[in-house]
Structure 1
Amino acid sequence: MRSIVLLASACVVTTSSSVAAAQNPAAIEHHLRYAVRVDGQPDVAMDLLERMRSYHVPGVSIAVIDHDRVVFAKGYGVAAFGGSKSVDSTTLFLAGSISKPVFASGFLRLAEERKISLDADINTLLKSWHLPESKFTEREKVTPRRLLTHSAGLTVWGFPGYALDSAVPSVPQLLDGTPPANTAAVRNDTFPGARWLYSGGGITILQLATTDITGEDFPTLMRRLVLQPAGMMRSTYENPLPMSRRGEAASGHEQIDTPVPGGFHVYPEMAAAGLWTTPSDLARWAIALAHSYRGERGGVLSPAMARQMVSKQMHQQPPYGEGYWGLGVAVIGDGDSLSFSHGGRDEGFVADFFMRPASGRGLVIMMNGVAGGLMGEIERAFAEEYGFGAPPRMTRTIVAKSASELGAYVGRYVGAAGKDTVRFDVSVAPDSKTLQVYNSAGRR
C-alpha cells in the first residue's frame, strides 16, 4: 500500500484562456475535455452523453449564466438508473454543501433585519442548546463570522445523512452526537480564529440559531429570507422531501448503476446539506447575489453585506487545500475576475457552481452519480467558451515503458482529500503498454 496526499482545492475557478468572441453555451455539451493534452495527438472533444455512460452517471443538469441571465438550461439522461423518466431543467437534485452558501445569504439577511453582530458570541444567540465552553473558548469565542468562514475551530466536517427508514435526530441531538445521531458531537478542538477547518457541524449550529432567534421552522424561514426573494421557486430546504414532490426528484447513485435505497438520504442538517434545488434556481440565487454585490435592484442582501460575503476573510491552507473563504463561499481572484463558488456532495449526488459577480457569468452543474472527473470535463468545456471556470489544462508527452517498468507503479494508493480518505488501484492494462486506474467505486 502506498501513501499520497491529495490536496482538495477550496475553489476550482481560475482564469484560463481569453474569452471567445461569441459564446455558444450549447456547445458545452459537445466539447468536454480531458485535463491533460497529449503532445502530438489530436485534442479530442467529447460528447456529454458519451462521458455520462463512461462514468456511469445516470443524470446531469446544467445551467449557464451570461450577463445575469440563464442563457442555457438543460437536463441529460434519466432520474434513476434503468428508469424511463428523463432529467430536465426542472428536476430536483440534492445540493449537498451548496446548501451552505444559500443558507449563508439567508442568515446574513436575518442578521441585517435583526441587527445581529457577526462577531457576537454564538451562545448569546442560542436558546434551545449551547456550545459547551472549553479551554479553547476562554479568550476567543465562536461567532457567526467564524462559523461561516470555517474558522471557529469546530469538529464534524460533513454528514452521511440517514436512510429513509431510519430514525432521524433532532438538531440538538446532532450537535451533541447522541442517538440516533450518526456523527460525533460538535465541539471545539482548537482555538476559534486560529486556522481554517471545514465544519458542517458549525453551520448546523447556525441553523439552530436562526430558528431560536425567529421561532420559525427552518424551511419556512429560508423560503422567506432567500428562496422566494431570489426567485428559487422550485427549491426547498424541506428534508425529507415531501411525498407530494418526490416525483420531481432524481435518485442518487453512490455505487455504479445502483440507486440509493429510497432514492436519497435524509439530512436534518438542512443548512449544511439539505437543500433540494435545480441548477436554474441556483443560478437565480447567484444572479441575485451578484445584483447585491454591484449595488443593483433585485438582490437579496445590502451591497455592503454582499461584498462582505464574497470578500477574502479566511486563508485556507494545506493540508486542506489552498485558497480563501468569504462568508459561506470560496473566493478566488480580485476585481472583475473575482469569483465565488462552492461544491456539493450528498449520498449519490454531486454538484458545483461558480459565479463572477462583476460580469454576471457563471455555471451550475448537478448530477445524480458520483463522478468528479465528469464535473471537471464539463467545466473545461465551459472554460473553452467563456475563458474561465477551470484550471489551465496540462500538456504531457507519452513515454514508452516496458511491462516490467510499468509494474513499478502497480498497487493501491491511499491519500487524503480534506478529511476524506481516497483510494485507487493501479494495474497494468491488458495491452501491457499502459496503466489503468480504478477508484474505490470501481470506476476507471
Structure 2
Amino acid sequence: MRSIRKLVLHGSVAIAGMVSTPVLAQSARCPIPDEAAGGPSNVHTRHVETELQPTVVKHGDKPFTLAERMRQYGVPGLSVAVFHDGKIDWARGWGVRDTASCAPVTPDTAFQAASISKVATAVLALRLAGKGRIGLNRDINDALHSWKLPEDPKLAPHGVTLAQLLSHTSGLGVHGFTGYAPDTPLPTLVQILDGAPPANNPAVRSELPAGAQFEYSGGGYLVAQLALSDVSGMPFAELAQRELLGPLHMTRSAFAPLPPPAIRADMASGHENGVPIPGNYLTYPELAPAGLWTSAGDLARLLMDIQASAAGIQNHRLSPAMARRMLTPVKDNWGLGVALYTDKPERFGHDGVNRGFQSFMIAYVGKGDGIVVLTNGGQGRRLMDEVVRAVAADYGWPDIAAPATEEKTLSLAELSRAAGRFKGGGLDVVFEARPDGLYANAGAPVPERLLALSPTRFRSESMGVTAEFASDFSSLTIIEGGPPMKLVRFQ
C-alpha cells in the first residue's frame, strides 16, 4: 500500500493529504441546483442519490445520501456516466461546476481528465501503429524528427520503444506534471522534455533499464506525444481530433491547455477547500499524459469503442487484434495505456489527478458495461469509490466494486500468513500480525491497523485503499481505491 503520509495515484501529480479534514463545498456557498439541471433522473440515478456506502460498515448502519457525502467530502460537483450492453444507459451531473457562479453540473460539463488522458493517447498511438505510421517495437527515435531522446547505452542499449512508453516500462523518469497557472508562459514540448525553463519539471531521461520493470512515467507519454506529431506532421491536438475525438463524437472533449469556447461554456473549475483554485484550473501543455478536457459521457464512448474492438467487431478506432494487444498485461497489471484487473471477469480502466480534479473509470473486457466518474475537488476519490460501489450494487457488478461488508475477526494464525515485507511499484510495506489485527507500515511514524474484510482482503481507511493477498500470500494487489498495483513478497 502507499505511504500512510502520501497517497500517490497514477494521475498527473502526487497528492498529499487525501484524508484531510472535509470542508463544506457547494452547500455552504451555493443553493442546491434544480434537479432537472443535472439531466434525466431514473431509478438508477435515485439509487446513487440514496444508497452510498463505504467499504466497511457496522451492523445496522444506514446508507448515506449523495448530498450528505458531497458535503462531508467537500466535493462541489460530480458527473457520472454508466454504460450497459454497449450503450450509455444514463449520464448525469450533481452539484455545481464552480462555487463562484454556482452553475450546475450538467451531463455535458467538461472536466480535466488528468491521467485518463493517457488512455485516449494510447488508442491514438495504437491506431497509427495499426496503419503502419509508427512502430510499436522500434526505437522511438526512428519516429522522432524534431527532437531525439538522448541515447543511454547502459539503461537503453537498444533504445526505447512506443510499446514501452505506453506500458510504463520504458525506464524514463518524470512521474507526472504539476501544471501552470493560466497566466504564466507555457514551455514548448521540447523545453518540457529537456527540463529547460520555463518548464517546471526535470528532464525526461532514462533512469531505469528499458523494458525491465513497471515504473509510471508521464514523461514517457510526452515522448509519445512528440513522436505521434512528428510521424503525422500534425499538432497532437489536431491529430487526436481527426483520428479519435471527432469520429467517436466526443463533442465535449479536446486536448488543450485552454479548451475551445464551446467547451468553456460548460466546464468545471478545480477546487480546494471548497473554493475554485486560482485561475479556476491549471493548464497542462503536456497534452498526451494530462491535457484532456472531457465529459463522463465522452469517456464512456471511448471505453465502449475499445470494448467493441476487443470483442472482434470491425470498423472501430482499433482493429480487434490491436485492441486485444492493448488489453494484454505487460507488467504489473498494466497493458498499453490502461490498468488491467486480470482476475475473472477481466476489467480495464484508469484514474486521474490534476490539481482540483479527480477522475476514475472502469469497464469490463468481455461485455459492454462500465462506469465513468469525474469530480472537481475535495476528497473526490472517496466519493467516487462510494458512487462506483452504489452503481455496481445496482447493476450486479460485484467484481467492479464489492458490496459493503462488516469487519471480520481473524485469528492471529490467519493474520500471520500476511505478515512480511512486500515491494512493488515503488512501494515498500511491512505487515505485522498482532492479536488485535494486521498492521501496515510504509514508513510512517505509527503503523496503521488495517480492517479485515476476509482472510485475504484488507482495507486501509487512512488511504481509502483495499488490497487482496494472493491465496498463498506471495503477493498482494490493490483492488479498490487506486490502480491495480501489485506488490510481491520480499521476505
How would you bin the TM-score normalised by the shorter chain? 0.7 to 0.9
Between stretches 100-109 and 240-249, larger displacement belongs to 240-249
Q: What's the secondary structure of 1:366's corresponding residue?
A: strand
Q: One-letter code of the match for 2:53?
A: R
CA RMSD, aligned part only? 2.7
User: Which whole-Å CA distance do the structure 1 matches of 2:148 and 2:367 have between them?
Assistant: 42
1:187 matches 2:205: yes
- Alignment identity in percent? 39
Q: What is the CA deviation profile of residues 199-241 of structure 1, one whole-angstrom value per residue up to 9, with x for unaligned ones?
A: 0000000000011111111111001111122221221112222
The 1:53–1:397 alpha-carbon spacing in structure 2 relative to 1, beyond 3 Å, is same
Query: In structure 2, what is the equivalent of residue 368 of structure 1?
Result: 376
User: Which whole-Å CA distance do the structure 2 matches of 1:266 and 1:338 have between them?
Assistant: 35
Q: One-letter code of the match for 1:349?
A: F
User: Which whole-Å CA distance do the structure 1 matches of 2:96 and 2:80 have between them?
Assistant: 14
Query: In structure 2, what is the equivalent of residue 330 of structure 1?
Result: 339
Contact 2:171 2:210 (8 Å CA) reproduced: yes
Contact 1:58 1:368 (8 Å CA) reproduced: yes
1:348 matches 2:356: yes
Q: What's the secondary structure of 1:248's corresponding residue?
A: coil
Matches within 5 A, 1:224-373: 224-243=242-261, 245-253=263-271, 255-297=272-314, 299-315=316-332, 324-333=333-342, 337-371=345-379, 372-373=381-382
1:99 matches 2:117: yes
Instruction: Report the alpha carbon displacement of residue 83 of structure 1 after superposing the two structures with TM.
Output: 2.6
Contact 1:59 1:368 (8 Å CA) reproduced: yes
User: Which whole-Å CA distance do the structure 2 matches of 1:4 and 1:218 have between them?
Assistant: 38
Q: How many pairs are equivalent?
A: 386
Query: In structure 2, what is the equivalent of residue 27 of structure 1?
Result: 47
Q: One-letter code of the match for 1:285?
A: L
Unaligned runs of 5+ in 1: 12-22, 316-323, 399-415, 427-436, 440-444
Contact 1:136 1:192 (8 Å CA) reproduced: no
Q: What's the secondary structure of 1:154's corresponding residue?
A: coil
Instruction: Report the alpha carbon displacement of residue 136 of structure 1 after superposing the two structures with TM.
Output: 3.2
TM-score (norm 1): 0.81
Query: In structure 2, what is the equivalent of residue 113 of structure 1?
Result: 131
Q: What is the CA deviation profile of residues 172-216 of structure 1, one whole-angstrom value per residue up to 9, with x for unaligned ones?
A: 000000000001101111110111000000000000001111111
Q: What is the CA deviation profile of residues 357-394 of structure 1, one whole-angstrom value per residue up to 9, with x for unaligned ones?
A: 31110000001014211111111112212223225645
Q: What's the secondary structure of 2:406's corresponding residue?
A: strand
Which residue of 361, 368, 389 maps to 2:400? 389
Unaligned runs of 5+ in 2: 12-42, 410-423, 428-441, 448-460, 464-491
User: Which whole-Å CA distance do the structure 2 matches of 1:61 and 1:424 have between them?
Assistant: 37
User: Which whole-Å CA distance do the structure 2 matches of 1:89 and 1:171 have between them?
Assistant: 33
The 1:59–1:7 alpha-carbon spacing in structure 2 relative to 1, beyond 3 Å, is closer
The 1:156–1:391 alpha-carbon spacing in structure 2 relative to 1, beyond 3 Å, is farther
User: Which whole-Å CA distance do the structure 2 matches of 1:422 and 1:344 have between them?
Assistant: 25
Instruction: Report the alpha carbon displacement of residue 36 of structure 1 after superposing the two structures with TM.
Output: 0.7
Q: One-letter code of the match for 2:236?
A: F
User: Which whole-Å CA distance do the structure 2 matches of 1:127 and 1:96 have between them?
Assistant: 27
Query: In structure 1, what is the equivalent of residue 83 of structure 2?
Result: 65
Q: One-letter code of the match for 2:98?
A: A
The 1:73–1:239 alpha-carbon spacing in structure 2 relative to 1, beyond 3 Å, is same
User: Which whole-Å CA distance do the structure 1 matches of 2:443 and 2:300 have between them?
Assistant: 31
Matches within 5 A, 1:423-434: none
User: Which whole-Å CA distance do the structure 2 matches of 1:217 and 1:115 have between them?
Assistant: 15
Q: What is the CA deviation profile of residues 133-191 of structure 1, one whole-angstrom value per residue up to 9, with x for unaligned ones?
A: 12434534210000000000011001111000111100100000000000110111111
Instruction: Report the alpha carbon displacement of residue 10 of structure 1 after superposing the two structures with TM.
Output: 7.4
Instruction: Report the alpha carbon displacement of residue 6 of structure 1 after superposing the two structures with TM.
Output: 7.3
